Structure 1
Amino acid sequence: MKRVIIVRHAKSVPYGYENDFNRNLTERGEKDATKISSELKQRGIKVDIMVSSPAKRALKTAHIFAENLGFDKNKIKEVKDIYDGMTTSQFLKLIHELRESAETVFFFGHNPDFQYFVDNLLKDLGSDMPTCSTVAIDFDVARWENVEARKGEKAFHLIPRMFR
């Protein structure tokens, strides 16, 4: 069993106050990321790999999750294409290249791409992905190279308003 956890970055300052790449999280965004990652810790979720867009808001979200889940933030792999935009095929290629010993991998990034990835990895999410949405998708495969579109099963979908 392999698990992909897709996290849309937490609430960030509006576009226009800073350039897009350097937009930071708002106070609410930091609280939401802390709540969601704390819930994951309570559920016993372990992290083998974290991959993030290098944009400040995504990386900050990843750092909060790493801290709460006991993952070394210096081991977060930054992938510029997550910020620049990827197709589902390119995202699957990234998944296929993961080290086989990893069972659970977190990806941190942006909509609309992350909504598309989730919709394409599952048969159907059935809802949208507001900021800090965290979707766990399980694949009944032994190797990452066998992960395919529309073959995933939703394990859970957490959104910040569930914890307010």
Structure 2
Amino acid sequence: MLRLMLLRHAKSDRPPGVGDLDRPLNPRGRAAAPRMAAYLAAEDLRPDHVVVSPSLRTRQTWEPVREALGLPEAAIVDAIYEAPPEALLNVVRATPHTAASLLMIGHNPGTQDLATQLVGAGPRELRRRLDTEFPTATLAVIAFDLEHWSDVAPGTGRIERFVAPKDLGDE
């Protein structure tokens, strides 16, 4: 079984004169990222492989996760930056065969679009939420009854979790 964890970057700022790639997290994002990191650690959701968009906001979202889980550096993958779901699926399919779980930290709408395309089963309430929202710093966990990442295809996944910072209490 394979497990894909999709984490949308935490809320970012829009400082004047700063390009999109260099936008940092805002105060709400700087608070949400460690909360989601603590959730991943508490639930023992430890990825075997991590890929992160090169944007500053995704890297700042990744840092507390890395620290909370005691993980090495992630692979920074340019193809994730503001990518459509087809490009993200190619990144998923290229995951090393030695990894049973993958964490991808990226952007919307691509992250949500990829998740909705992959999910073919799972609790109705989670599928409904996934179809209607994917707030910043939200985590979707999708399981596949497959042996190889290259076999991941639309409709082959089962959503196991859909967790937004607001689900964890005080935001």
Query: Do they fold alike, i.e. is TM over 0.5?
Result: yes
Aligned-pair distance for 1:17? 5.5
Percent of aligned pairs with the same amino acid: 27
1:96 aligns to what? 93
Count of residue pairs brought into register by the alignment: 161
1:4-30 C-alpha deviation (Å, 9 max, x unpaired):
101110011036452211000112212
Cα distance in 1 between the residues matched to 2:144 and 2:136? 24
2:51 aligns to what? 51
Q: Does 1:111 align with 2:131?
A: no
2:32 aligns to what? 32
1:4 aligns to what? 4
1:154 aligns to what? 159
Aligned-pair distance for 1:106? 0.5
Structure 1 unaligned regions, length at least 5: none
Is the CA contact 1:115–1:129 (under 8 Å) kept in the aligned structure 2?
Answer: yes
1:37-79 C-alpha deviation (Å, 9 max, x unpaired):
1111111111211101100001111112111111113xx1111
Is the CA contact 2:143–2:157 (under 8 Å) kept in the aligned structure 1?
Answer: yes
Cα distance in 2 between the residues matched to 1:117 and 1:9? 15
1:93-146 C-alpha deviation (Å, 9 max, x unpaired):
222221111011110111111111111111343331010011000000111111
> 1:47 is paired with a residue of what secondary structure?
coil
Runs of 4+ in 1 over 6 A off after TM superposition: none
User: What residue identity is the alignment partner of 1:136?
Assistant: V
> 1:66 is paired with a residue of what secondary structure?
helix
* RMSD, aligned CA: 1.5
Aligned-pair distance for 1:157? 0.7
> 1:13 is paired with a residue of what secondary structure?
coil
